[in-house]
Amino acid sequence: MSGDADRIAALEMRIAYQDETIEALNQTVTAQWAEIERLKRAVAQLDERLEDAASGSAPVDRPPPHY
């Protein structure tokens, strides 16, 4: 029976390792998703600024000329 106990212990260790790996991968994917969302917002802001520049109007975030 010692062989079966060893096999079960080895399988339990593999499962524990796989659980840790899955959690690490999940954290990585979550961080990447947040970064993608941040970059999408930045691109949208740049698109707006580009449209403002193309239309000849001053960007909203520029100070007035008297500064």
Residue 63 lies in a domain: no
Of residues 56 and 32, more confidently modeled: 32
pLDDT band (50, 70, 90) for residue 56? confident
Residue 45 lies in a domain: yes
Residue 66 lies in a domain: no
Is 59's pLDDT higher than 70?
A: no
- Determine the Cα–Cα distance for residues 53 and 65; give it in Å rounded to an integer: 17
Residue 67 lies in a domain: no
Provide the 8-state DSSP code for 65: T
Please report where in the chains the tokens 């899955």 appear, as a residue: 22
% of the chain with per-residue pLDDT over 90: 72
Q: How many domains does the chain have?
A: 1
Q: In this structure, what is the dihedral angle of CA atoms 49, 52, 57, 63, given to the nearest 10 degrees? A: -10
Residue 1 lies in a domain: no
Residue 28 lies in a domain: yes
Could you tell me the residue range of the domain that residue 30 belongs to? 21-52
Residue 34 lies in a domain: yes
User: First-to-last CA distance in the chain?
Assistant: 85
